[in-house]
Amino acid sequence: MNVVWRPTPNYRPGREGRPVTAIVDHVMAGGEVGPDAPPTGSALRSVHFSVLRDGAIHQYVEEADTAWHISAVERSRHPIPWLETPGSDVCATVNLSTIGIEHEGHPGEALTPAQFRSTVALHRHLLDRWAIPLDRDHILAHDRLTRRHGAGCPGPGFPWDGLFSALREYQFMDQERIRSALDSVLSVSAALSLLQSPYAEHLKGAVRAIREETGVY
């Protein structure tokens, strides 16, 4: 997974001791966050990642820090078990507890194949790193929290079923076995490159392709 680091000043260091509990998926919807610009247009808006239509992933805020991608939460929206903390500022709690991912495009528009692959890889990485449960209370649509974005965010074009089935497949993969097999291939490739063999590059390319397809890094 290739991530381009494009830092924004719009974030809060740390998460006030809260764990990363969930991922919130958004669609940019022309202007919520520009397709290729760090989200600095509005002083208090930011997001951790954007996944662009060509599959590029841009990161603006460190995962361990708080981005401001949720500006309102309506309590009447579907209750979310981890969020029902009486008396807390719900909106702040969501930002402190989540990682936000924007997707270039409009509500109702399908992701491109490259964009789908990249967002699957990014979700896999986040589930692994933060031990986020794989269910719909922990991988959320922005509009599960508020109705403010008329057409919905990320909207009806977002491939929830495809995303969840790709993530479930990943959970059942023996990732350690794939990782150690790839490490063996890389050590053979290192030996071949000492011998200046052109096969070294072929093997490295094969490892890269398997990593991209499986999401195992």
Cβ of residue 33: shortest distance to Zn ion, in angstroms? Answer: 9
Map tokens 């270039």 to a residue.
104
Q: How far apart are CA 119 and CA 111, in angstroms?
A: 9
Measured from the CB atom, is 26 or 58 closer to Zn ion? 26
Contact in structure between 154 and 33 (CB atoms under 8 Å): no
Piece of the chain touching Zn ion by CB under 5 A; list 53-61, 84-92, 137-145, 204-212: 137-145
28 contributes a contact to Zn ion by CB under 5 A:
no
Those residues whose C-beta lies under 8 Å from the C-beta of residue 128, and which sit 6 or more positions away, are none
Sign of the C-alpha dihedral, residues 96, 167, 39, 84? negative
Piece of the chain touching Zn ion by CB under 5 A; list 134-142, 160-168, 172-180, 187-195: 134-142
> Binding pattern to Zn ion, positions 147-166, x when CB under 5 A?
------x-------------
Site size with Zn ion, rule: CB under 5 A: 3
Counting beta carbons within 10 angstroms of the beta carbon of residue 149, is it exposed (0 to 12), middle (13 to 18) or buried (19 or more)?
Answer: middle
Measured from the CB atom, is 83 or 182 closer to Zn ion? 83
Angle, to 10 degrees, between the axis of helix 199-214 and the axis of helix 175-194? 160
Measured from the CB atom, is 33 or 96 closer to Zn ion? 33
103 contributes a contact to Zn ion by CB under 5 A:
no
Contact in structure between 62 and 10 (CB atoms under 8 Å): no
Tokens for 182? 């790839």
142 contributes a contact to Zn ion by CB under 5 A:
yes
26 contributes a contact to Zn ion by CB under 5 A:
yes
48 contributes a contact to Zn ion by CB under 5 A:
no
Cβ of residue 163: shortest distance to Zn ion, in angstroms? Answer: 16
User: Which parts of this chain interact with Zn ion (CB under 5 A)?
Assistant: 26, 142, 153
